[in-house]
Amino acid sequence: MHNIKYTNQSRQFRYSAVFKRFHQLPGIKSIGNMILDPVWALEMHKTGANELMHVIRGNVVLRIGNSRLKARPGDTLLVPVGTMHRDEFDLSAGLEVFYVFFDWPPSKDYFRLVPPKDVPRFCAPVAAEISKLCDRMQIGLDAGTETDQLLIGSYMHNILLLILREALRVDARNNHDNRLHHGRVLLAEARQYIDLHYAEQISLDQIADTLRISHFYLSHLFSRENDFSFVEYITQVRMQKAKDLLAAGAKNVSEAAYAVGYNDSNYFSKVFHRYFGVSPHAVRCGLSGRAARKIAK
């Protein structure tokens, strides 16, 4: 098995050693279909083994501490050994489940990665695969040979790994979404800083230090979200500000250049002409028609 890395902004875990322990098959203690006794819905209880409950008929709310986990037919729930819980369901409608009580040496590590409250509601293909594996366990139970018992353990093992894979996928998507959101917040703060300080000699390093992130990451954010660089963004802001000043007649060309952070008015004029296609002097003197539309773009 390849080393598996799990990364967020502050930590990085290597799970390869833990995952090797997951190679072990679980030991099945008890298995079968069950119509739940009402006492399980009324009183908190715990089992002496890990528990899988696959809902066949009815709806249930698994209460563990402050968590309320809803499940309907086709859903699967897990309860670690020794966990106090209650299976709440409509007593008049009843609840039928396929259950498996099992021992598994790496279960503590497993439930650190897959807490019961985080067991996802699976997409249809995964839920269907788990249902098929439950059916196969029942067939093997009816046959009763030693090979069938071994197969039952392998089916249960397969279910546990399917659940693990889906839980990690959900976690990875959430982390990705969080990183995207955090990056967009940082980029908005960087833009705000530029809008306030565009007339100064600001640099990527200066803004990155202000935001307490690396200049490499900030550069990546500008390229990823804007499709242009940090320098291009500052130029865009400065040119637009300069155009507004010149069009309003508030500044001459030299004054406008200085007001947006350029000490050399000749260089400013070249950048302005390259950016808008007309000179800053022409904008200050006033344009109409086609040239004005060109600048507005």
Instruction: Decide: 218 and 190 in contact? Cβ < 8 Å.
Output: yes
What sign does the dihedral 34-53-74-62 (CA atoms) show?
positive
What pLDDT, on the 0 to 100 scale, is given for residue 187?
A: 87
The C-alpha R_g of the chain, in whole angstroms, comes to 32
Residue spans of beta strands (DSSP E) within the chain: 5-7, 12-14, 27-35, 50-57, 60-64, 67-71, 76-79, 86-88, 96-103
Determine which of 4-13, 119-128, 171-180 has the lowest per-residue pLDDT on average: 4-13
Instruction: Decide: 280 and 246 in contact? Cβ < 8 Å.
Output: yes
What pLDDT, on the 0 to 100 scale, is given for residue 295?
A: 47
Distance of CA 228 to the CA centre of its chain: 25
Structure tokens at 78: 């897990």
- Structure confidence by residue, pLDDT tens digits, 168-185: 887 777 777 777 788 888
- Structure confidence by residue, pLDDT tens digits, 51-79: 999 999 999 999 998 889 999 999 999 99
Structure tokens at 296: 């507005």
What pLDDT, on the 0 to 100 scale, is given for residue 129?
A: 92
Determine which of 12-16, 45-49, 133-137, 267-271 has the lowest per-residue pLDDT on average: 12-16
In order of their start, the domains of the chain are 5-176 (2.60.120.280), 231-296 (1.10.10.60)
What pLDDT, on the 0 to 100 scale, is given for residue 70?
A: 92
What pLDDT, on the 0 to 100 scale, is given for residue 34?
A: 92
What sign does the dihedral 228-230-231-237 (CA atoms) show?
positive
Alpha-carbon span 114 to 200, nearest angstrom: 51
Instruction: Decide: 61 and 99 in contact? Cβ < 8 Å.
Output: no
Task: Name the nearest CA neighbour of 22 among 157, 169, 167.
Answer: 157
Tell me which residue has tokens 């099992």: 102
What sign does the dihedral 66-78-170-164 (CA atoms) show?
positive
Structure tokens at 164: 């693990």
19 Cβ neighbours under 8 A, 6+ residues apart = 1, 4
Structure tokens at 270: 């070249």
What pLDDT, on the 0 to 100 scale, is given for residue 65?
A: 86
Instruction: Decide: 52 and 78 in contact? Cβ < 8 Å.
Output: yes
**pLDDT band with cut points at 50, 70 and 90 for residue 157:** very high
What pLDDT, on the 0 to 100 scale, is given for residue 168?
A: 83
Alpha-carbon span 48 to 25, nearest angstrom: 18
Which amino acid is it at 176?
H
Is residue 102 scored above 90 in pLDDT?
A: yes
For residue 211, give the H/E element and its range: helix 204-211
Determine which of 119-128, 184-193, 195-204, 277-286 has the lowest per-residue pLDDT on average: 119-128
What pLDDT, on the 0 to 100 scale, is given for residue 287?
A: 54
